[in-house]
Chains A and B, each alone.
Chain A
Amino acid sequence: MRFRHLLPLLLAVLAGAAQAGELVVIVSAKNPVSALRADQVADIFLAQTGRFPQGGEAVAIDLQYGSPLRDEFYRKVAARTPALMKAYWTKMVFTGRGQPPKELPNSASVRRLVADNPLLIGYIERSALDASVKPVLVVQ
């Protein structure tokens, strides 16, 4: 079970720079979570759950509204266009079921923030990846 999730990740890591522009979902290197499925990631980012599958509290960090990376992320992870995402959050906010994640301007700031806090989860350009954070999903 575990290998099946690990394998694509390892392959992605080995592929290196050849995969520039790719997104990776990251958590703090201190976070015990090692890998997540796309739907688990989506649930956290869409405020459907506030916890990692392992049980730890999870807080999503988003990129700025209108960022191409952000649009790509939601298209791939949650299969939603920006318009749908907006409608989604409008409804979530209106009904009081949730607030959109905190937004940061770029991958580096996300990485920085996530690296320090094991509760956080974010996504960054693969190229911005470093040892301070741990990729749990390569978004393809």
Chain B
Amino acid sequence: MRAQAGRGVKREGAQARLLRLGMETHVSLPLFTGMLVVAIWLVTFHFIEAERATAHAAALDSVAEIADTYEAQMARNLGGIDQTLKVIKYAVERKGALGALPELHEHGLLPSGLVFSVSIANAQGQIVASNPAVKAISVASENYYAYHRQHDSGAAYVSRTMRDAANAEYHVHFTRRLNDSGGGFAGIAIVEVDPEYFTIGYERSRQGERGMLALYGQDGIVRALRVGERVSWGQPVPQLAPGDQPVAGPWDAVRRYVRVRPLGGFGLLAAVGVAEDEQMAAFEAHRMQNLWKAGVGTAVLVLTAGLLWLWLWHGAKTRRRIRRQQETYAAASQANLDAFFVLRSVRDRSGRIVDFRIADANPQAEKMTGMRREQLAARSLLSLLPDARDNGILAGLIHITLAGGVHEQEWENTMPQLSVRWVHQQVVGVEDGVVAIVRDISERKQAEARILHMAHHDSLTGLPNRALVADRLGHAITSARRNGNAVMVAFIDLDSFKLVNDGLGHNAGDELLKVVAARMTGCVRANDTVGRFGGDEFVLVLPEVGDSPATMSLLMEKIRLAVIEPIQLAGQEVQVSCSIGVSVFPRDGIDPDALLSNADAAMYRAKDKGKNNYQFYTHEMNASVEEKLALLEGLRNAVEQQQFRVLYQPKVDLHSGAVFGVEALVRWEHPEHGMISPLRFIPLAEESGLIVLIGEWVMRTACRQARAWQDAGLPVTVSVNVSPRQFDDAQLVSQVEDALLDAALDPQYLELEVTESLIMRDMQQAVAKMRVLKNMGVSLSVDDFGTGYSSLSALKSFPISRLKIDRSFVSDLATSADDQAIARAIISLAHQLHLRVIAEGVETEQQQGFLRENGCDEMQGYLFSKPVEASHITAMLLRQGATADSALA
């Protein structure tokens, strides 16, 4: 059931499709043409058949008419001939054979000698008279003689076409018997006729070139036959079957319409024929003509229809293409996120474009203008956007209309009729108008602005960043150079920001920065710039500032005071100060880099001066920077030229007072500047990475020295400091191994000192590395203990054997209860963890006394000895050995 229904639907679909195809002109036209062609040919063949029938009938009529005529002529002629024979017979029987002919001639009863030969034969067959006169021959041997001799029927006799001795020409002999008075055979009357005579009636106009006239006897032998111009005789005639259909003649292959008529008297028959092809020639010609007409008609029709079809088909194709294009355009424009306006130019009388008509618009355009498409179509550009006349839009569109091409631009819309702010427009010149594709790019513009802002501003404080500050400074300088003004640049660095950040957390640090930024911004004018360079560095650019130092000082003081105001952070009151460095264009530099760099230098001077102050740049400040560079250069040379020396500071057991180890300390003996403090060059070396090379050298030197002491019978442990950079170096472990191997030193005589903060940066990795070293047999100690933030639990896991109390706790040990408490706590803690404790920087007896009383194990410091040459240590150890020996002794 369902399947049937399905088939039904399908069939109906096919029918509908056929119907639709039929409706298409380019399909129906060929069908119609085909039917027309068929009709033409049907009609043509119908006419041809009708004409054939007509021609056939006409041929039959014609042959019948000719036959009638011929029959009549023959009947009359044969009658005349028989009449002549009878007249001769009469005259002969009356006058005798010799007198008969002249008698008849006299009376004009003889036929014309021109056509008929008349003669009389006697009973013996001898010709006795003739007209015209011929030789007197005997006809006794002729058939007719025998016939007449034997028969006295009173009938005429007709011979075959023959000739005799008297006449060389063939003739048909008509004869009658002459009787004597007794009724006996007396001779023969003869009339000879040329066979041509009987066919002379042939009319070419009626019977054509291949018509036929025939006279033949009942004996079936032809007496005279004419086909066209040719006359013959004597041939036998097969049964002629006269009918309505043409038959092929018995004498040739020509098909003829034939009629046969029997003639009375002599037992002859007359046959008439007309050639079918001749009779039908006109018809055939007409048939060909009709076929040609139909053919030409068909060709013309087909050609015309073909051209028409091509034209229609082309038209249909063009329409389809246009329709598709329109649909495509409609689909594209409907769905497009851009607004489409199709504008057609409106011209004034002089042909100038004065306005545009809105020919089409898509939904986005409706949205953009707030109008429906129909409303838009009723408007002109100027009536929709009056401002277009003056803001260049109309002029632009006119230009594009005239010039063509594709034009793109972005502009900020200020016309209230359009609901967008920023637009990107693409205008394409088309024939007599333009297509404007307008895109709302407000969002993109906003994003761009945001990105631009982000690129130029610090995300935390919203202040301009380094790039924008540099830009503004550049502008300020350009402007100042033009106006002869000054530009002030201030570098502001918060003094103890790191403490806040580390102590209260990053969020508190960020909050602090925001507050400080806001305060600084509050201190300056609108066209001044407060920027942040990152971290706790701020920069002020103050264009058009008076050149008076007093004004500048006032402003700097205002900022310093604003920053130092207490801030509530994470429930605590925090106070940060700042150090400010100032440089002024054009006095301190004429380009942004120089000004910023000089302000930076001035800021460092302020730091050096104890922070919480401001400094104006002076030329000397740059000297320190230059000095630093010179120092770095010197440091490189120092590594190459072995300008370092190692000094050793003894470590003393607080209980025994004996030197049990030394700390190796590097010194730089500059060939020109003399001894340079480690405080000056170590940070530089650390910063530049040279520390790795220096540290390795120190370690090798110290190891060799330790081996030397050992060899001298003075075994002491040598401590070597490992800087963070050195510690991070992947080669550290192998360097230590190499140094030990090189010096052939037992690892137990080497101690490495690392700082607490170094371990805390990445505790796990640091502890792992320390374990490796520890496993080698090298001992480890924590330097500067107390300054970092290591937790006690972490401390427990350190593979160390010694803690060193930082000198900062030691220095005030005599007076500060806090420091005493800290020292006591550290000592106690170390002992709890089974670590030895050493105090560094011990300079006084009081300090030594406190440490000893509180159980500190070891100490080092100026109280006992400053760092000294290795040889001094050797002497010291020898002395100690001697003392010990003497004590023992």
| Chain A interface residues toward B at CB < 8 A | 65, 86-87, 89-91, 93-96, 99-100, 102-103
User: Considering the chains assembled together, what is the distance between the CA atoms of A100 and B113 in angstroms?
Assistant: 9
5 chain-A/chain-B pairs, Cβ below 8 angstroms:
A90-B196, A93-B111, A95-B73, A95-B201, A96-B77
Q: How far is the CA of A86 from the CA of B114 in the complex (A)?
A: 7
Q: Specify the chain B residue showing the minimal Cβ separation from A98.
A: B112
Cα A93 to Cα B76 with chains together (Å): 11
Pick the contact of A65: B108, B114, B201 (CB < 8 A): B114
Does B132 reach chain A (CB closer than 8 Å)?
yes
Given contacts A95-B73, A100-B112, contact A90 B132 (CB under 8 A): no
The answer to whether A89 touches B112 (Cβ under 8 A) is: yes
B197 and A90: CB pair below 8 A?
Answer: yes
Cβ of B77: which chain A residues have Cβ within 8 Å of it? 94, 96
Question: Given A65-B132, A102-B108, does the pair A94, B197 have CB atoms closer than 8 Å?
Answer: yes
In-complex Cβ contact of B112 among A87, A91, A93, A96 (8 A): A93
Q: In the bound complex, do residue A90 and residue B201 qualify as a contact, i.e. CB atoms below 8 Å apart?
A: no
B547: Cβ under 8 A from any A Cβ: no
Q: Known contacts A65-B132, A96-B76: does B115 contact A90 (CB below 8 Å)?
A: yes
The residues of B that contact A65 with a CB separation of less than 8 Å are 113-114, 132
Majority DSSP secondary structure for residues of A touching B: helix
Residues of B in contact, count (CB < 8 Å): 16
Residue of B nearest to A82 (CB): B114
Give the chain A neighbours of B378 by CB distance below 8 A: none
Which of B73, B113, B132 is A94 in contact with, Cβ under 8 Å?
B73
A23 to B108, CA, bound (A): 26
Give Cα distance in the complex from A91 to B113, angstroms: 14
Task: Please indicate the chain A residues that have their CB under 8 angstroms from the CB of B112 in the complex.
Answer: 89, 93, 99-100
A87 touches B76 (CB 8 A): no
Contact of A93 with B115 in the complex, beta carbons under 8 Å: yes
In the complex, whether B198 has a CB less than 8 A from a CB of chain A is yes
Most chain A CB atoms below 10 A, which of B76, B198, B200 = B200
Tell me, in angstroms, the Cα distance from A102 to B77 when the chains sit together. 20
B414 shortest CB reach to chain A, Å? 119
CB atoms of B114 and A94 under 8 A apart: no
**In this assembly, does B194 line the interface, its C-beta being within 8 Å of a C-beta of chain A?**
yes
Contact B200 A94 (CB under 8 A): yes
B131 to chain A, nearest CB (A): 10
Q: Which residues of B contact A93 (CB under 8 A)?
A: 111-112, 114-115, 197
B194 & A94 in contact (Cβ 8 Å cutoff)? no
Q: Is the CB of B201 within 8 A of A91?
A: yes
Q: How far is the CA of A87 from the CA of B114 in the complex (A)?
A: 9
Residues of B within 8 A of A87 (CB): 196, 200
Taking CB atoms, residues of chain B closer than 8 Å to A99 are 112
Q: A65-B132, A96-B73, A96-B76 are known contacts. Are A91 and B114 too (CB-CB below 8 A)?
A: no
- Which of B73, B76, B108, B200 interacts with A90 by CB under 8 Å? B200
User: Which chain B residues (95-114) contact chain A, with CB distance < 8 Å?
Assistant: 108, 111-114
Encoded as 1 (CB less than 8 Å from any A CB) or 0, chain B from 127 to 148 comes to 0000010000000000000000
Contact B132 A91 (CB under 8 A): no
Please report the C-alpha to C-alpha distance between residue A25 and residue B108 in the assembled complex, in whole angstroms.
23
Within 8 A of A (CB), among B461-497: none
Is B76 within 8 A of A89, CB to CB?
no
- A93 CA to B115 CA, complexed, in Å: 8
Tell me, rounded to whole Å, the shortest Cβ–Cβ distance linking B272 to chain A: 15
Q: Which residue of B lies closest to A91 (CB)?
A: B200
- A94-B197, A94-B201 known; A89-B114 Cβ under 8 A: yes
CB distance from B361 to the nearest CB of A (A): 102
Kindly supply a per-residue 1/0 record for chain B positions 55-73, scoring 1 wherever the CB is within 8 Å of any chain A CB and 0 otherwise.
0000000000000000001
Residues of B within 8 A of A91 (CB): 200-201
Chain A residues with Cβ below 8 Å from B108 are 102
Q: How far is the CA of A95 from the CA of B200 in the complex (A)?
A: 8
Docked Cα-Cα span, A104 to B73, in Å, equals 29
